[in-house]
Chains A and B, each alone.
Chain A
Amino acid sequence: MTDTPKAKTEFRWTRKDLLSVEELSREEIELILQTAESFKEVSSREVKKVPALRGKTVANLFFESSTRTRTSFELAAKRLSADLVNFSSSASSTSKGESLSDTAKNIEAMNVDTIVMRHSSSGSAEYLAKKLKVGVINAGDGIHEHPTQGLLDIFTIREKKKSLEGVRVCLVGDILHSRVARSNIWGLLKLGAKVTVCGPPTLIPAKIEQLGVEVSYDLDKVIKDQDVLNILRIQLERQKGAFFPSIREYAAEYGISKERMLKAKKDVIIMHPGPINRGVELAAEVADGPQSVILDQVTNGVAVRMAVLFHTTMVER
């Protein structure tokens, strides 16, 4: 055993929960990113498994449908040797009228270590974290935050652009309903990126510039300066309020077409949290084009979620 002194840092990860990127310090974000870099290598091995969380149990508790995020968390837990159980709202007793905290307390009573939750109500993750002793990872709460998506977006940008300092990132689309946008904004600003949000005025929250972002309603004007275009999904299920006249008009104004790409920087990267509405917010040629890092985001998602599960589950309860 090496008993030479390690680099001593005062800093130590102490959160059993990950509820938002807003609550994280720059140091905490950087620790997650650094750990994720090492975990990315694990997924490229022949044996894609390390025993770090052996004997721990993670529960996926998804009240909104999701395949990508749930599977990503599932693989992340399994590659760390944790056991994993899936609960979905339709198959669980919430459909029989059980309350959220009762469902969660029952899972806790089965000695689970960490609960990964997605819920349509903003603040539900924080509510649960206060009620439970087990760790709670927010996998998306309403229109509030989706912290692991924000972190994996930041990880991908850092991987492609080396650093976040001074990098110009534009979030395009429905900022109002986007928890991904909010997690991105908090994290990007903390790491020194310059953030612009761009979309129809009806889908940009009032006073969002107070967070420290620039606001634009004209994509053609701002596109030429951007290093990263993070294209948000037009959430068709949340568009009942007539926020824009038609899907076609939205695509014409804010969709990333082949023609619009000609106005962008040569080395711009295109990101999208998925699932893509091809031909609406993103043209197929662009989504599959050389500047697209959309599948890198998916790969990195597993590594980032491994890092989050690792650090939160290791905290003593």
Chain B
Amino acid sequence: MNKLVLDSPSIERAATRMAHEILEKNNGVDGLCLIGIQTRGVILAQRLEKIIEKISHAKVPIGILDINLYRDDLTKVAEQPIIHKTEINFDLDNKIVVLVDDVLYTGRTIRSALDAIVDFGRPKRIELAVLIDRGHRELPIRADFVGKNIPTSDNEIVHVHFTETDKVEEVVVAQK
């Protein structure tokens, strides 16, 4: 049984608020850049970028990160690991990097992403923006910007669906 937790307008409102919070915390767009984690983190990053541009009339650089090669369970994943592209075409040294993902769960993806980012440079600061924080962390990682906190149990799955990838716009919680 699927439980709808965010519909399309709520996702939009959450993203807008997160964009405002990112600008507020960092005093504008100076030195700011966004890096989305494949696949849906990239879409969320693109949306945040658009909203930030609308609010502050300035463009922030945006990058794409695939963390598969940095996973700690790469040899154990059941499905064929597909290595997607990483595209970070700007210098990360002394930047404020906002890492963007759709769901924050165990924290292991973010751990991999942090490893990957330091291979590209030495940012001044790395912050984390996620649409959903569902709890159950296995590592000492927390998000700076959260769209919505959703208490879940371990036998539930959070599905984030974006129009670009899934044709519908919603966040649902399903039973495993």
Q: Could you tell me which A residues sit within 8 Å of B by CB distance?
A: 1-9, 11-13, 31, 34-35, 37-39, 41-42, 45-47, 49-52, 80, 310, 314, 316
Contact = CB atoms under 8 A, between A and B. Distances in A.
Q: Which of B83, B104, B106, B115 is packed against the most chain A CB atoms within 10 Å?
A: B83
Contacts of B120: 45-47
Nearest to A54: B74
Instruction: Classify the interface of chain B: helix, strand, loop or mixed.
Output: mixed
B105 A12 contact: no
Given A9-B79, A9-B80, A1 B108 contact: yes
A5 B85 contact: no
Given A2-B109, A31-B80, 12 more contacts: A1-B106, A4-B40, A4-B103, A4-B157, A5-B159, A34-B82, A38-B85, A45-B119, A52-B69, A52-B70, A52-B74, A314-B81
Nearest to B136: A1
A101 B69 CA distance: 33
Contacts of A11: 80
B66 interface: yes
A2 B71 CA distance: 13
Contacts of B86: 38, 41-42
A2 B81 contact: no
A87 B143 CA distance: 49
A46 B161 CA distance: 35
A45 B161 CA distance: 32
Given A45-B119, A314-B81, A3 B103 contact: yes
Instruction: Classify the interface of chain A: helix, strand, loop or mixed.
Output: loop
A314 B74 CA distance: 8
A35 to B, nearest CB: 5
Closest 8 CB pairs of A and B: A1-B105, A50-B69, A52-B69, A47-B119, A38-B83, A1-B109, A12-B80, A1-B106
Interface residues of B, number: 38
Interface in B48-101: 66, 68-70, 74-75, 79-87, 101
A2 B82 contact: no
B160 interface: yes
B75 A314 contact: yes
B79 A8 contact: yes
A58 B58 CA distance: 48
Contacts of B66: 38
A294 to B, nearest CB: 25
B129 interface: no
A2 B41 contact: yes
A103 B82 CA distance: 35
Contacts of B108: 1
A35 B83 contact: yes
B85 A37 contact: yes
A80 B83 CA distance: 13
17 contacts: A1-B105, A2-B39, A2-B103, A2-B105, A3-B157, A3-B159, A4-B158, A12-B79, A12-B80, A34-B82, A38-B84, A42-B86, A46-B121, A47-B120, A50-B116, A80-B69, A316-B75
B32 interface: no
Given A47-B120, A52-B69, A1 B80 contact: no
A80 B68 CA distance: 12
A263 B54 CA distance: 55
Contact of A1 (B87, B103, B119): B103
A6 B106 CA distance: 17
